Amino acid sequence: MLVPLLSVATAFLAGGLVLGAIGVDPWNALRELVGGSLGSGEGLGFTLYYATDFIFTGLAVSLAFQGGLFNIGADGQAYIGGLGCALVCLHGGALPPWLVIPAGIAAAAAFGAAWATVPAVLQARRGSHIVITTIMFNFLASTLMAYVLVNLLRPTGDMQAESAAFPPAAIVPSLQSVLAAVGIAAPTTPLNLSFVLALACALAVWVFVWRTRTGYEIRTVGQNPQAAVYGGISPARVTVLAMALSGALAGGVAVNEIMGVQGRLLLDFTSGYGFVGIAVALMGRGHPLGVVLASFLFGMLYQGGAELAFDEPKVTRDMIVVVQGLVVFFAGALEGLFRRGLARLFDAGLRPRDTGETSLPPRVAEPGGEIP
């Protein structure tokens, strides 16, 4: 618990130094960041709306982590997931209205899962490196979607590369309208019921990974594939399963953005949220509760950062990407350094022994550390 806190604190300290270097008072920026993201009902709504996307991608990356896989392609999987839900929403006229949204969610998950399954099968059956293939699949997704949007889904005569608007039955209700139905007034924000779906997914991932037989198999393969084979588990099957579920979770971004907010398919609607997922998963130590907390923090960063960029001309939203990179660097790449440093500190007499326990499998936390 101490390791992530310490590394994230270091990352934010470094972010403050960058702000200071470009001539912005970091304390003032921090005050504005917190005020902009939590200070009003509207700010909080936007914060939770951003957090929804990050919970989906964070869970996607975490689930793959548990199987010892690095899914760097959540962005592409979410993008293709958008195609799935757009096809259902645009052509689902024959479905009864109450079924359109569930069908759209299922399509987003199925398309995301399919896009993740190809690299997984290539790794499991042909031994190609999943990191390289998922990177390639991100670019393939973006060229494919550009082609589909410009040449196939764009209504004739329309200049913008975007699909036609979805029918009202395909729009996920906003939280504001749901609260209004039970008599609570809430400000207008893009926050919608996808947030509840994201929280449900977090719970489901926890139950699945830590309370089911298949989840146990995934964790075993993540910790030690040789031992898994010895225990009668097929790493190839687990690899494909973990990646498919990971891609399905990434498809949740499409539900929030496409069906919840935009109501149409847009170019690049994922805005790099798949990569935020990497930061969130590392910060949350691959655990669903950690992912939800880290997503909330990143939601604050995005919303507060937007407010800050509005007030302070020297700051742009790119600062968020800087902080994101710092978090990945300190909480991810230098994780072992912090952990070993703390362990040494405790060994020196503060406590009898620090277990240095991490919920990330060693193959991810410290590659090659445990496997000969």
Determine the residue type at 221: V
Question: Under the criterion CB under 8 A, does residue 156 sit at the interface with another protein?
Answer: no
Establish if 28 lies at the interface with another protein (CB under 8 A): no
Interior CA angle at 53 toward 212 and 252, to 5°? 55
Contact 235, 69 (CB under 8 A): no
- Residues 233-272: x where in contact with another protein by CB under 8 A, - otherwise, as a string: ----------------------------------------
- Asked if 314 is part of the footprint of another protein (rule: CB under 8 A), the reply reads yes
Question: According to the binding rule CB under 8 A, does residue 16 interact with another protein?
Answer: no
Cα–Cα nearest to 37, from 21, 25, 49: 49
Q: Is 306 in the site for another protein (CB under 8 A)?
A: no
Spell out the SS3 assignment of 175-227.
HHHHHHHCCCCCCCCCCECHHHHHHHHHHHHHHHHHHCHHHHHHHHHHHCHHH
Q: Cα–Cα distance between 316 and 314 in angstroms, integer? A: 7
Closer Cβ to another protein, 22 or 181, answer by number: 22
Distance CA 75, CA 274 (A): 4
369 touching another protein, by CB under 8 A: yes
Of the candidates 6, 18, 38, 164, which one interacts with another protein according to CB under 8 A? 18
- β-bridge mates for residue 174, sequence order: 192
According to CB under 8 A, which one of 94, 98, 126, 353 is a site residue for another protein? 126
Q: Is 326 in the site for another protein (CB under 8 A)?
A: yes
Contact pick of 16, 39, 325, 356 for another protein (by CB under 8 A)? 325
Q: Which amino acid is at 206?
A: W
Query: Given candidates 180, 289, 333, 345, which one binds another protein under the rule CB under 8 A?
Result: 333
Question: x/- site string to another protein, residues 80 to 119, per CB under 8 A?
Answer: ----------------------------------------
DSSP, residue by residue, 230-244: HTT--HHHHHHHHHH
Name the token pair of 163. 């699909």
Q: Could you identify the residue written with the tokens 């996307």?
A: 53
**Region at 165 (left for phi over 0; alpha for psi -120 to 50; beta for the rest):** beta
Q: Is 344 among the residues that bind another protein (CB under 8 A)?
A: no
Choose between 142 and 234: whose C-beta lies nearer to another protein: 142
Q: How far is the CB of 360 from another protein (least distance, A)?
A: 9
Cα distance between residue 223 and residue 229, in whole Å:
12
Does 366 bind another protein (CB under 8 A)? Our answer is yes
Please report, as residue ranges, which positions from 270 to 299 form the binding site for another protein (by CB under 8 A): 275, 278-279, 282
Q: Which of 127, 168, 349, 352 binds another protein (CB under 8 A)?
A: 127
Show the DSSP H helices in 23-157 as ranges: 26-38, 41-66, 74-91, 97-126, 130-147
Smaller CB distance to another protein: residue 349 or 372? 372
Helices (H), 257-287: 273-283
Nearest CB to another protein, comparing residues 232 and 368: 368
Instruction: Give the interface with another protein as residue ranges (CB under 8 A).
Output: 18, 22-24, 70, 72, 122, 126-129, 131-133, 135-137, 139-140, 143-144, 146-147, 151, 275, 278-279, 282, 313-316, 318-326, 328-329, 332-337, 364-369
